[in-house]
């Protein structure tokens, strides 16, 4: 939800900011804007509706010089996506410009108060209220920008990451955060002085420096051209910045010859999962090592219930995690939509462990859910991909996915990374609790190790999905069915199709069909059935019969060598044999490819589907 970039140093800011916006475009892409102070001290703001490329066109021939600037790519919350509502926003005197990611919940009352004091507004956004409030504080308290930001933010309810330029002080950049992410990159100019970068995540920064500071909630930072960086909290108490070295390389942020990030990320899954299990799964000693479990063994031994909070695709992987942990560890697991959990007075008991699953580590609802659980004294475990993200930092311990940056809005490698991490977690807890017989534990360790190779096989043996997918270009509905471990895969397959092709799709537990949805089946309805040889094979075969007798078109995911379901199907995707509990990581691959190629055949923008953003930092 919105991306922020900033720069102050010796270099021209515009190319850095524009490149940064392109890297952050996955966070929001309905409008974009940039603000610069040139060497004559002019503070300019350029904004346009649409993608960053539209902004680039709109500034052709304009003065884009200057070595300090801020920029923004927007996912609209307050006010329709147009150039007026796009960021940066000017203050009334045009002495300040500001970009913001987050939501100011009390913006209406603040705006009314400011209007009473003679301030006028151009946009419908909550952000404009912020910049006007800062200016109002500067004027009414006769203070500098930094103090005014502190004063203003004390009056603000909501979430923000902000960056501000001041025309009359072109040598300094001020930023702050609460609830929305903001990272400061610290580089060195050729003359040996420090230069500073800002980013909503590390992607716009890594090209220039791997030294970063993750700003904490309610911290304000000021950077200037002399290399000064001061951070305080809202009460003006000085904070000591922690410099962190980023583990990321630029190649991970490029498409690497693929037409889309989504396709690249689908094909990256075997390598990504190998990285995820490296050092954690030991086939020689038949062991699983997760430091988050080893270091907090007592918590897991006395835990009576696990609650997993997540949203979207992460909720689907959490459901697979529930099935596995309950089976392997004999601990009851509840999977909660974070957005529901946070508002419904849930019962959280002293020995509960709450796990947050989130690729971005920034999803507002998931973050709020664990904050609530923390207030109730729960022990918090984070399963995140983005290192240093808010959820990773808000939890007591956790496990990173290490699947590399996921840029496509549709989650693919993060999903399988989450599933394999939850399997590792289940095995690590089972080891401590001794809930699995040794022989079975060893079989599961060996089998889990083979999953990346089996994913590779699946990718290489389902290469004609692109041609097959074209049959569904004009299709209006799809149903996805699975049972047991594959019910969440059905949900995930349906979500992937919906979000990038805009075709309506429903995922169901196969046996629930006859309680209603079977009425939808006719010769027009493609039904994707995940029907591996294990699990409830016979049962799912009868579900397929029920659909066939109502003339539904069957697209099945079958185990290699299963001719029975293959012969019953109009089309089949083949996966290698594996344990029932690990099938989701293989079965989801043809479904990811199917949704990708159907979306391509419809001419959709698969990496940036309409109305969506990669990281949902607003509720
Ligand atoms: O970053 P998170 O894993 O917390 O994100 C949760 C969902 O917003 C995300 O999985 C979303 O559903 C994806 N677009 C699905 O592909």
User: Where are the domains positioned within the chain?
Assistant: 3-249, 258-460, 465-601
Query: Which phi and psi angles does 173 have, rounded to 5°?
Result: -130, 130
For the packed helices 269-277 and 413-433, what is the interaxial angle rounded to 10 degrees? 30
Is 614 a catalytic site residue? yes
Give me ligand 1 centre to Cα 314, in Å: 6
Is 602 a catalytic site residue? no
Ligand 1 mutation target, pool 75, 181, 313, most atoms within 8 A of CB: 313
Ligand 1 mutation target, pool 411, 415, 417, most atoms within 8 A of CB: 411
Task: Please give the CATH superfamily to which domain 258-460 belongs.
Answer: Glucose-6-phosphate isomerase like protein; domain 1 (3.40.50.10490)
Q: How confident is the model at residue 27 (pLDDT cuts 50, 70, 90)?
A: confident
Give me ligand 1 centre to Cα 410, in Å: 8
Give me ligand 1 centre to Cα 132, in Å: 33
pLDDT of residue 231: 97
pLDDT > 70 fraction of the chain, expressed in percent and rounded: 100
b or e along 340-356 (b: 16 or more beta carbons within 10 Å of the residue's beta carbon)?
ebbeeebebeeebbbbb
Query: Which phi and psi angles does 398 have, rounded to 5°?
Result: 170, -170
pLDDT at 229 over 90: yes
Q: What is the rounded average pLDDT of the residues 59-87?
A: 89
The total of other beta-carbon atoms located within 10 Å of residue 538's CB is 7
Does the pTM surpass 0.75? The reply is yes
Give me ligand 1 centre to Cα 152, in Å: 32
More reliable by pLDDT, 536 or 12:
12
State both tokens at 355: 């796990």
pLDDT of residue 74: 86
Q: Is the peptide bond between 594 and the residue preceding it cis, with omega within 30 degrees of 0?
A: no
- Left, alpha or beta for 61 (phi > 0: left; psi -120 to 50: alpha)? left
The answer to whether the 258-460 and 465-601 domains have the same CATH topology is yes
pLDDT of residue 384: 96
Dihedral (CA of 396, 399, 402, 405) sign = negative
CA distance 268 to 78: 37
Tell me which residues have their CB closer than 6 angstroms to ligand 1. Answer: 311-314, 358-360, 363, 366, 409-411, 495, 499, 615-616
Closest CA to 248 of 188, 204, 189, 194: 204
pLDDT of residue 256: 85
Nearest CA to ligand 1 atom 7: 312
Fold adopted by 465-601: Rossmann fold (3.40.50)
Nearest CA to ligand 1 atom 10: 313
Q: How confident is the model at residue 254 (pLDDT cuts 50, 70, 90)?
A: confident
pLDDT > 90 fraction of the chain, expressed in percent and rounded: 79
Q: What is the rounded average pLDDT of the residues 492-502?
A: 97
User: At a CB cut-off of 8 Å and minimum separation 6, what does 71 contact?
Assistant: 4, 5, 6, 17, 18, 20, 21, 32, 33, 34, 35, 88, 99
pLDDT at 412 over 90: yes
Closest CA to 531 of 586, 476, 478: 586
CA distance 175 to 8: 12
Q: What is the rounded average pLDDT of the residues 520-527?
A: 90
User: At a CB cut-off of 8 Å and minimum separation 6, what does 452 contact?
Assistant: 269, 270, 271, 273, 274, 277
Residue 416, classified by CB atoms within 10 Å of its CB into exposed (0-12), middle (13-18) or buried (19+), is buried
Ligand 1 mutation target, pool 356, 616, 619, most atoms within 8 A of CB: 616
Atom of ligand 1 nearest to the CA of 411: 16
Nearest CA to ligand 1 atom 8: 312
Nearest CA to ligand 1 atom 11: 312
CA distance 533 to 542: 13
Atom of ligand 1 nearest to the CA of 363: 4
Q: Using one digit for the tens of pLDDT, what is the confidence trace for 257-291?
A: 999 999 999 999 999 999 999 999 998 899 999 99
Q: What is the rounded average pLDDT of the residues 104-124?
A: 92
Single out the catalytic residue among 167, 264, 553, 614. 614
pLDDT of residue 3: 92
State both tokens at 103: 């939501």
Closest CA to 394 of 374, 421, 376: 374
Give me ligand 1 centre to Cα 444, in Å: 28
Give me ligand 1 centre to Cα 330, in Å: 28
User: At a CB cut-off of 8 Å and minimum separation 6, what does 320 contact?
Assistant: 419, 422, 485, 488, 489, 584
Closest CA to 587 of 530, 512, 515, 503: 530
Single out the catalytic residue among 2, 309, 311, 384. 2
pLDDT of residue 301: 94
- Left, alpha or beta for 484 (phi > 0: left; psi -120 to 50: alpha)? left
pLDDT of residue 534: 81
Atom of ligand 1 nearest to the CA of 412: 16
pLDDT at 503 over 80: yes
Give me ligand 1 centre to Cα 440, in Å: 33
Atom of ligand 1 nearest to the CA of 612: 14
CA distance 52 to 33: 8
Q: Using one digit for the tens of pLDDT, what is the confidence trace for 182-224?
A: 999 999 988 888 999 999 999 999 999 999 999 999 999 999 9
Considering the segment(s) 3-249 as one domain, its CATH architecture is: 4-Layer Sandwich (3.60)
The total of other beta-carbon atoms located within 10 Å of residue 295's CB is 11
CA distance 294 to 357: 19
pLDDT of residue 318: 98
pLDDT of residue 374: 93
Give me ligand 1 centre to Cα 5, in Å: 22
482 close to 509: Cβ distance less than 8 angstroms: yes
310 close to 366: Cβ distance less than 8 angstroms: yes
> Quick one: which H or E segment has residue 277?
helix 269-277
């Amino acid at each position: 939800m919105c991306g922020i970039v900033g720069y102050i140093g010796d270099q021209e800011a515009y190319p850095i900011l524009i490149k940064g916006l392109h890297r952050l475009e996955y966070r929001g892409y309905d409008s974009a804007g940039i603000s610069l102070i040139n060497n004559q001290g002019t503070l300019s703001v350029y904004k346009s509706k649409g993608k960053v490329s539209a902004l680039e066109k709109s500034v052709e021939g304009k003065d884009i010089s200057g070595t300090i600037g801020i920029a923004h790519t927007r996912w609209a919350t307050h006010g329709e996506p147009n150039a007026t509502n796009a960021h940066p926003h000017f203050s009334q005197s045009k002495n300040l410009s500001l970009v913001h990611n987050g939501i100011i919940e009390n913006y209406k009352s603040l705006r009314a108060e400011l209007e009473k004091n003679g301030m006028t507004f151009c946009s419908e956004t909550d952000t404009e209220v912020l910049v006007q409030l800062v200016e109002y504080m500067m004027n009414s308290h006769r203070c500098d920008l930094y103090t005014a930001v502190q004063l203003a933010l004390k009056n603000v309810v909501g979430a923000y990451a902000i960056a501000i330029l001041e025309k009359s002080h072109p040598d300094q950049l001020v930023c702050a955060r609460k609830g929305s992410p903001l990272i400061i990159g610290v580089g060195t100019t050729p003359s040996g002085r420090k230069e500073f970068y800002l980013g909503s995540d590390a992607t716009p920064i890594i090209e220039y420096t791997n030294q970063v500071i993750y700003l904490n909630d309610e911290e304000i930072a000021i950077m200037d051209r002399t290399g000064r960086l001061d951070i305080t909290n809202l009460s003006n108490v000085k904070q000591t910045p922690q410099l962190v070295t980023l583990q990321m390389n630029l190649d991970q942020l490029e498409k690497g010859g693929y037409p889309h990030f989504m396709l690249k990320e689908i094909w990256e899954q075997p390598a990504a999962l190998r990285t995820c299990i490296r050092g954690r799964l030991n086939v020689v000693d038949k062991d699983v090592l997760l430091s988050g479990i080893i270091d907090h063994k007592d918590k897991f031994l006395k835990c009576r219930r696990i609650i997993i909070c997540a949203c979207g695709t992460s909720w689907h992987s959490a459901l697979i995690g529930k099935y596995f942990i309950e089976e392997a560890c004999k601990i009851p697991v509840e999977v909660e939509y974070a957005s529901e959990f946070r508002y419904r007075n849930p019962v959280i008991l002293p020995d509960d462990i709450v796990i947050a699953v989130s690729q971005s580590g920034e999803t507002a609802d998931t973050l709020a859910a664990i904050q609530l659980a923390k207030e109730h004294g729960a022990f918090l475990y984070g399963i995140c991909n983005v290192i240093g993200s808010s959820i990773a930092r808000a939890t007591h311990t956790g496990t990173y996915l290490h699947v590399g940056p996921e840029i496509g809005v549709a989650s693919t490698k993060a999903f399988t990374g989450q599933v394999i991490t939850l399997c590792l977690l289940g095995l690590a807890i089972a080891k401590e609790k001794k809930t699995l017989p040794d022989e079975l534990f060893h079989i599961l360790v060996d089998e889990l190790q083979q999953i990346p190779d089996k994913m590779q096989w699946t990718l290489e043996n389902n290469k004609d999905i692109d041609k097959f997918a074209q049959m569904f270009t004009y299709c209006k509905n799809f149903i996805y069915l699975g049972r047991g471990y594959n019910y969440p895969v059905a949900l995930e397959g349906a979500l992937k199709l919906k979000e990038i092709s805009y075709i309506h799709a429903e995922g169901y537990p196969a046996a629930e069909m006859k309680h209603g949805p079977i009425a939808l089946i006719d010769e027009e309805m493609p039904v994707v059935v995940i029907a591996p040889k294990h699990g409830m094979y016979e049962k799912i075969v009868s579900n397929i019969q029920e659909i066939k007798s109502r003339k539904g078109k069957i697209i099945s995911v079958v185990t290699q060598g299963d001719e029975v379901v293959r012969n019953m199907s109009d089309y089949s995707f083949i996966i290698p044999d594996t344990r029932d509990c690990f099938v989701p990581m293989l079965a989801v691959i043809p479904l990811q490819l199917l949704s990708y190629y159907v979306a391509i055949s419809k001419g959709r923008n698969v990496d940036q589907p309409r109305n969506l953003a990669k990281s949902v930092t607003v509720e």
